[in-house]
Structure 1
Amino acid sequence: MIRAVIIDDEKNNIENMVSLLMKHELPVTIVGSATNADDAISTIVATNPDLLFLDIQMPDKDGFDVLKALPHYQFEVIFVTAFDQYGIQAVKFSAIDYLLKPVNPEELKTSILKVEAKLNQRKQNIQLENLMDLIRNKDAKKDHKLALASTKEIRFVNTDEIIRCESSNAYTQFYLTDGKNIMVSKPIFEYEEMLTNYDFIRCHQSHLVNAKFIKSLVREDSGYLLLTDGTRIPISRGKKENVLKALNTIKK
């Protein structure tokens, strides 16, 4: 059984989570709960859980403050929260599971299955370490690492190491500065949402490009972006205006 702690400032949310876990007979036993950050920290230290169900938005101190106060991350985390723009973006960046309230039972089941698989490996939670680096250094974008989960591993790459992304149905291929490519089973639009603030430009339905590696915008042949490695990336008719606007904004 997975030993879990639930942290949420509303008691009814804790009760609802317990009810969902019991109703769907999920392999989780609750070893503690807390409705504020300070109690959460002491509960985690006392129980040494395998898993935290952690709310991001809480009064005074939030869920990230709880994690900052802990010296090690030898547990998994499922964030259970109302929408929190930066928080959710950081969580996605580190490929950590989150559930939006009200919790969907099927999504909860899927998250628990992932936790089981990770706990079987019993490794230090590198994804959570990466998340906390993002939270602590949210303004140092050049040092932010994106978690790319392939079938073989989860690789953490600096955004500056990504030249471009190319979609292939529900998959996204990442082209890196070291010459390697990584295929990830997520659609490109999810990465567009994550990487726009890092000067990535969606120039085509199938292409997302790091502006750092754009050498020039060529107007012939319907228009394309010439990258520093010689790659030509097409610009779709519907994206031209947005590409020009993005390039002008980045230059400023």
Structure 2
Amino acid sequence: MVLKALLIDDEQPNLDNLQALLEMYCPQVKICGTALNAQDATRLLYIHQPDLMFLDIQMPGQNGFDLLRSLPAYHFEVIFVTAYDQYAIQALRFSAIDYLLKPVAIEELQAAVERAHRQHHQKEQNKLLQNLMHFLKADPKLDEPRIALATAKETRFVKTSEIIRCESSNNYTTFYLTGSETLLVCKPIYSYNDLLGACGFIRCHQSHLVNKMYIKSWKKEFGDFLLLTDGSQVPISRRNREELKRLLRF
């Protein structure tokens, strides 16, 4: 399992050095972004939804602790990286997986990354177990199926009947819900094929899953696409066209 990581430090040479060390000695880490201040870091958090953050503490404006305080919640691991060891107690209070002093030692960096990797894996297993227990406890006569969707802020348990459609973008999937709400999840759309297929969802395109109950019509103007009750239009690929006709029974 590869950890997506953000690197936050107000000095570019420090970012360059840490990035070089990670690329050379920590192959289980994939760097998805870097930032020189807390404001840019917050924007990148919502774009990339990382698994791990290497966070400098002493920065102009918002420091590292201020950045974490400003978030409603965070589900990534944190490794503080700083030149000042007097921040250690505060770092521990923020439940950092580790604390590295500059200049960063290779052995300490590798050990911190390994601990973060184990911690993240355990959290993922706990999410899966939580979802499993929900389904095992549900009364199929009374409860609608729910799916656990892990975003950057939280893990939401969403009724499948509240999902209008899903749209893929590389390794991310956007869930469009009733009430005009969207959830961005860091999983590819094929991860949901079997689970949602059993709940009445149809794969009409490589990048789209739609809930049958929200299909309004099949349009044939300028190519085939489905018109959904929320007004969205979803393309139908040639590859999925005949199977879609069969599932919709026409």
Task: Output the TM-score relative to the length of structure 1.
Answer: 0.48
**Which structure is larger by alpha-carbon Rg, 1 or 2?**
2
